[in-house]
Chains A and B, each alone.
Chain A
Amino acid sequence: EDQVTQSPEALRLQEGESSSLNCSYTVSGLRGLFWYRQDPGKGPEFLFTLYSAGEEKEKERLKATLTKKESFLHITAPKPEDSATYLCALFSGGYNKLIFGAGTRLAVHP
């Protein structure tokens, strides 16, 4: 069964304190691993898609990496505005549906 597991469930950082979020997955035939950011009361906002092991993508203070079993979202020198829930997702059953991990709730304090 295709599955996405994220850790930690919640993460509290001081401003400037770098860290990483983990997304472990099992899927029969990866067709893209997605990272989204979700603010309270809003829909998910697309961040990255990774397709193959070894691939990396960056956007401002965020960098996403991918291996055959997991993906990491690295946050470098975070700011309070980076506080949000970060969701990992992948296509299950071919392109039929996008399934999500439970998310990591990130809080960055000044």
Chain B
Amino acid sequence: AQTVTQSQPEMSVQEAETVTLSCTYDTSENNYYLFWYKQPPSRQMILVIRQEAYKQQNATENRFSVNFQKAAKSFSLKISDSQLGDTAMYFCAVQYNTDKLIFGTGTRLQVFP
């Protein structure tokens, strides 16, 4: 079975600091995409960042970057200069040859002033 594991149910960080959220996945596929989605309280899911498995270079989107370790099947999200608006549930997801996303259980991130 293809699974996604987020081992940190909750994380907290002070405003302006850096935090890293962990994600591991299990697959025998070679081609796939990895995603981090953000779900703010009572708001809809938003795509934060995407990584193609065939690319060695780690993806970056402004304050968000990933550390993709294909051999280790690890895909962590680093948020730099954390802002209060980053408070949300963060979901790691994998997409294989089919179109469906397979999500982890999420990490609740709280940013404190």
A joins B in a complex? no
